[in-house]
Amino acid sequence: MEKKETTKSLSRRLYAGECTSILESTRVSDKYELNRLRQVCTLNVAAAPDDQIEKVCPNVWVLADQTRCGGTKGRFLANLLNQEPYKRYMEYVYVTEFPGGAQIALAQAALHLQKHATLFLPSGADKPNPTIARELGATIKIEADDPWKAAQLYVQGSQQRVLLPNGLAIQGMHEALVECASKLAKKHGTFDQVWCAVGSGHLLRALAETDLGKEYHGVAVTGGIPEHIQKLSRINEHVKVVQHPLKWTELVQPNQAPPFDSALYYDAKVWSAVVSAARSPVRILFWNVM
Domain CATH number, residue 128: 3.40.50.1100
- Predicted pLDDT of residue 11: 37
Whether residue 171 has pLDDT greater than 80? yes
Per-residue pLDDT tens digits for 222-263: 988 999 999 999 999 999 999 999 999 999 998 888 988 999
Residue 34 and residue 178 in one domain: yes
Q: Quick one: average pLDDT of 189-194? A: 98
Of 119, 151, 168, which marks where a domain is finished? 168
Average pLDDT (164-181) is: 96
Position 6 pLDDT exceeds 60: no
pLDDT for 86-109, tens place per residue? 999 999 999 999 999 999 999 999
Q: Omega before 165 cis (within 30°)? A: no
Residue where a domain terminates, one of 168, 183, 211: 168
* Pairing between β-strand 60-64 and β-strand 53-57 as defined by DSSP bridges: antiparallel
Considering the domain architecture, whether residues 32 and 161 belong to the same structural domain is answered as no
Dihedral sign of CA atoms 177, 181, 186, 187 in order: positive
Domain around 129: 86-168
Are residue 163 and residue 278 in the same domain, yes or no? no
177 and 68 fall within a common domain: yes
Sign of the alpha-carbon dihedral angle for 89, 198, 54, 175: negative
Long-range contacts of 151-154 (CB under 8 A, 24+ apart): 151/93, 151/94, 151/95, 151/120, 154/93, 154/118, 154/120
Calculate mean pLDDT across residues 138-163. 97
Q: How far is CA 124 from CA 15, 98, 141, 149, 217, in A?
A: 36, 5, 10, 18, 30
**Domain with 14 in it: what CATH number?**
3.40.50
If one counts the domains in the chain, the total is: 2
Domain end marker among 118, 140, 168: 168
Count how many residues are written for the chain: 290
From the list 68, 74, 76, 3, the residue with the least C-alpha distance to 36 is 68
pLDDT of 60 reads 95
